[in-house]
């Protein structure tokens, strides 16, 4: 009689409440003027960067086609108005 292969049920790990893992984001410490408030940060590739943005650190344009970072407060940043687009080097210096 052939043997049956019984698979173990997959145990999924719980997602964070903000869904940041699902969307490819990370929770990190925010800019210094927020006194370390946690922010959700996401990398935006050059192919997905399609608009002009202004970086809050250096007040310079981020033109379309330039890879950058989007960050917003974890606890209060539920609307799109709370998102800020940063140059990668400006985000690293924050």
Token pair, residue 24, equals: 């490819």
Q: CB neighbours (10 Å) of residue 26?
A: 12
Residue 74, pLDDT score = 83
For tokens 């140059």, name the residue. 87
- Residue 87: pLDDT above 70? yes
Residue 89, pLDDT score = 93
- Residue 11: pLDDT above 90? no
Q: What is the residue-averaged pLDDT of the chain?
A: 83
2: part of which helix (H) or strand (E)? none
- Rounded CA-CA distance 16/91 in Å is 23
Domain that holds residue 86: 26-93
Within-domain flag for 71 = yes
Does this model's pTM top 0.75? My answer is: no
Within-domain flag for 3 = no
Number of domains present in the structure of the chain = 1
């Amino acid at each position: 009689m052939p043997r049956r292969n019984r698979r173990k049920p997959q145990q999924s790990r719980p997602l964070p409440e903000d869904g940041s893992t699902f969307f490819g984001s990370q929770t990190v410490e925010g800019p210094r003027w927020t006194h370390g408030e946690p922010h959700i940060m996401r990398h935006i590739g050059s192919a997905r960067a399609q608009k002009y943005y202004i970086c809050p650190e250096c007040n310079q344009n981020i033109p379309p086609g330039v890879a950058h970072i989007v960050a917003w407060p974890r606890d209060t940043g539920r609307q799109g108005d709370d998102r800020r687009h940063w140059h990668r080097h400006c985000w690293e210096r924050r």
